[in-house]
């Protein structure tokens, strides 16, 4: 999967936090293009706001940064997006903190050779105060052996050969993609505590501590 023709790759960001905007890859929403099924890269806010939510965002008290794969079909928040608005979230890695409270260590996690990949995600569009807001969530699943030492969950990482199927197939045809990504294809390394402040950016954040 590559960005649509004429669309530049997103600017590198090394510390994206919930409520910030990040690029997602999705099927072009109905009415935005002449050709059905085209693919576009678009900005969306991390933290899905369901289409039925119309109150100010500050009144939204439930967390939607992540969505558990096991409950998507039953969730009032995620069910519609799982059926009709799946997306890919391009990334080169993510962070996780582990250790006892007060002495936690951040780790960067990525694929071997630092290659790019895509999380499996969902997006939605809500009308808030007269403005349309596109937002997304990252789907999580049970951890592989690498991630089990860091956290009880891990994001769903998709193989490039499955990108099109994730965007276009029925829900039944994509449930097998929720299996944790192979351990031997991933690695993790400790990084500095600077990643704990979202204002910090730059490639120095992913250098091994």
Structure tokens at 5: 């023709």
Q: Tens digits of per-residue pLDDT, 121-133?
A: 999 999 998 999 9
**Is pLDDT at 36 greater than 80 in this prediction?**
no
Q: Does residue 9 fall inside a structural domain?
A: no
Average pLDDT score, the chain: 92
Number of structural domains the chain divides into: 1
CB-based contacts of 67: which residues, under 8 Å, 6+ apart?
48, 75, 77, 78, 122, 137, 138, 139, 140
Residues in the chain: 209
Question: What mean pLDDT comes out for the span 11-16?
Answer: 88
Task: Provide the residue range defining the domain that includes 65.
Answer: 21-94+115-182
Q: Does residue 204 fall inside a structural domain?
A: no
Q: Does residue 105 fall inside a structural domain?
A: no
CB-based contacts of 90: which residues, under 8 Å, 6+ apart?
10, 23, 25, 116, 117, 118
Does the predicted TM-score (pTM) go above 0.85?
yes
Q: Is the Cα torsion angle 199, 201, 204, 205 positive or negative in sign?
A: positive
- pLDDT confidence band for 49 (50 / 70 / 90): very high
Q: Tens digits of per-residue pLDDT, 80-123?
A: 999 999 999 999 999 999 999 889 999 999 999 888 999 999 99
Q: Does residue 110 fall inside a structural domain?
A: no
- pLDDT confidence band for 1 (50 / 70 / 90): very low
- SS3 label, residue 146: helix
Query: Which residues make beta-bridge pairs with 118?
Result: 90, 158
**CATH of residue 50:** 3.90.1680.10
């Amino acid at each position: 999967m590559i960005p649509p023709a004429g669309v530049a790759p997103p600017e590198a960001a090394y510390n994206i936090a919930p409520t910030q905007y990040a690029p997602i890859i999705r099927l072009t929403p109905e009415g935005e293009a002449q050709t059905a099924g085209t693919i576009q890269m678009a900005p969306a806010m991390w933290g899905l706001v369901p289409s039925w939510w119309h109150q100010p965002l500050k009144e939204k008290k439930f967390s939607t940064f992540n969505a558990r794969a096991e409950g998507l079909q039953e969730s009032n928040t995620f069910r519609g997006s799982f059926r009709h608005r799946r997306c890919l979230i391009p990334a080169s890695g993510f962070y996780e903190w582990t250790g006892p409270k007060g002495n936690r260590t951040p780790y960067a996690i990525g694929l071997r050779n630092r290659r790019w990949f895509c999380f499996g995600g969902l997006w939605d569009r809500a009308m808030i105060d007269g403005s349309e807001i596109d937002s997304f969530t990252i789907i999580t699943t049970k951890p592989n052996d690498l991630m089990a030492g860091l956290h009880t969950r891990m994001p769903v990482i998709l193989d490039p050969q499955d990108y099109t199927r994730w965007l276009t197939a029925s829900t039944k045809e994509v449930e097998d993609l929720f299996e944790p990504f192979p351990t031997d294809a991933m690695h993790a390394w400790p990084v500095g505590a600077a990643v704990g402040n979202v204002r910090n950016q730059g490639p120095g954040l992913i250098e091994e501590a």
